[in-house]
Structure 1
Amino acid sequence: MASGPTVNIRRDVDDKFYRYRMPLLTTKIEGKGNGIKTVVPNMSDVARALSRPPSYPTKFFGCELGAQTSFDEKNDRYIVNGAHDPNRLRELLDHFIEKFVLCKSCKNPETDLVILKSGRNEEIIRDCKACGERTDVDMRHKLTTFILKNPPVKSKKDRKRNAGTAAANVGGGNSPTHEAGDAEVADAADGAESDDELTKKIKAEAAELNTDAAITDEGWVADTSPEAVKQRMKALEGSMAAAVIGGDDEGSDEDVNSPYSQLGRWVEENRGDVEDLKTFAVDVYKKVQDLGIEKKHKAVLVLMQALFTDEAVTEIRNYLPLFKKMISSERHQKALLGGLERLVGLMQPSLVPVVPKLLMEFYQADILEEEVITQWGTHVSKKYVDKETSKRVRKASEPFLKWLEEAEDDEDEDDE
């Protein structure tokens, strides 16, 4: 981001610690008479902070002011015809952010614009990475026509994420709120590239994940007898204590009163009576805050073990905003993967075939990074479980790891 003064993306938020910032929009008047125009020298930097193409806010200014606009991306020049006061343009930028950036649900700017197609009709939605909600855009605004004709260009990771949607939804167990929409998003989110041969190939390969993931192993059949469930509960309690051994966090011992043990027990005691998992996720975060461990990576490790049942595939999307809020480093990501090993290895052996789906969900939500997953998948470790269990969990993840590697290779070849 270019140097210079910055402001909150939501300028109505008077908080100097507000994490979402953007450069203050600057303007420059050029020309005279009928040829006078307003140039926005830092439009690219402002748009980058908003995760939008710079042509979108520029065109929005033109729609609102009834003025012609022009874009010269090569020379980074974005122009609105006529002489316009900088404060007026900043006010219009606030309106653009409200209409085309902020999530309607949580008012967070971490959204992507997605184009959905239904027959001849097209709709633009905001897909929020923070809360997971998808909210509509007012299709009556003139800018929507421009966006439909000039859809957002997807990065490599975005293309893989859209292709991976097919893999995440194959074979049942989908979240009810996503079943209908994801099929459309997989086809439409790529915009003009929806018919690209590379995209088709990646989608086809991703769809095969479900078949490949059905790994069978007699040693992984879940015993649901009361005695077996009781034993696994004891194993969980032991692993909760193990989660805090040898670390630098508070309670780094086997004390049953450590904040991590308290968190694990609280989740287990309250999980069964929950009707709305999203609401429960909020309650969990409040509990984590009360214990003072919301920034600790070991809290992530405990939650991975305690939150999920054998219905993890349908539960996971309700918990993604919780994990996204808590995970802020590579160490947190590794703790999440360690928790996944313990969840599958100790508590829910029936989840082994869906390990690729769980990884896909965390990857699509930008919670797990490709490099971290790849390193984890290729290095067996005894840090969280025994070596044999570590091998088995990684073997189960192979279809996803293979897809990740081949999708990257194919996209690199396509870019050459």
Structure 2
Amino acid sequence: MSANINIRRDVSDKFYRYKMPKLISKIEGKGNGIKTVIPNMSEVARALSRPSTYTTKFFGCELGAQVNCDAKNDRYVVNGAHDAEKLQKLLDIFIEKFVLCASCKNPETVLVLTKDDFIMKDCKACGANLMADNRHKLVTYIIKNPPTNAKRSKKSKNGADGKKGMPTPPETASNGSDDEDADDVTAFMDAEAAAAAALPVSRDVDDDDWAVDTSEDAVAARMKELAVGGAVAKLTEADDDEDDQDDPLEQFAEYITTHPNASDSDLHTAATNLSIRPDKACAVLAQVLLTSAVLTNNEIPKRAPLIRTFSKTEKAQKNLLGGIERLVGVSHKELMPKIPMILKALYDEDLVDEEVFLAWGEKPSKKFVERKISKEIRERAAPFLAWLKEADEESEEEEESDEE
């Protein structure tokens, strides 16, 4: 049994959900007849949701070597002697070019063949539909060898400039109706998924390499390993309809504190992998990501792009303010006098709507902190709330004047 590794080997997080078996290579023969057999190629290809022939042919293209793909006997061979690590590095390139989404860097993509023979990567994680590396030699093989039973669309004979053999880019392709394009793409995607599912599976391979084990035993084991304290206990107690989110929230908080140099992309991926709801993520980010230097270090403007991806709903914005209450009322009480400036920073970055601010300021709540603390925070926030209300009224008067 080969060990499972992260599909993205540049990600060291052991909770990274996308896994694949580590490549195994076996050298056979000698002299001019020496060759490298990859015994677990089908398992690796299955984890990537790509046909085994694609990965094997890619090795041949990169190494300038002949390959032999015998799907019936589950035998994949590359001529020459190549060690496993060398092939693994080449597989990393294949994953970057033909598996990972260029937008979110997740491997939840399927290859789509357009009418003009462009290979696109359709991401099921973020919805992006971006072009693969269509300059690579492997593209020719993919076009000639789509997954079994895939419906092929007719290739356009003329490009945008009307010259034969010049393909129209996917963005401007217009041959055929939109419905026909959709049917062709759907058929191709369905057939590709079926082909990947039909690949031989070793009994030693995990049936669900892309899933996080969420059983009670698995969660308990991860929590014991992380030794997470009660940093977000109040946050998880605050929402009665999702008590089962305690562990993922604490893991997310632990990830933030133990990875101080994590990028916005890393933190967003961590939240996604732990299935953290956007409103919960806002509460954790406000409490754990921001520090006592939130103003002096301009932490809110710096982290605004990340927070904004989660704070798109009213509920998420309310939880963001709840996290701020925890920040100034529990974690860093020295920030209490600075609450108006913190709220102004949230307002300037469009992280919280005016209506949400004003509704939040109407009455204290014990959802995130004790009611006494919540009341004090709102009293401290009074100057900002008064300014916001006044600005809102002035804006309404100007609109009425313009209408008249």
Alignment TM-score, normalising by the size of structure 2: 0.42
Alignment TM-score, normalising by the size of structure 1: 0.41
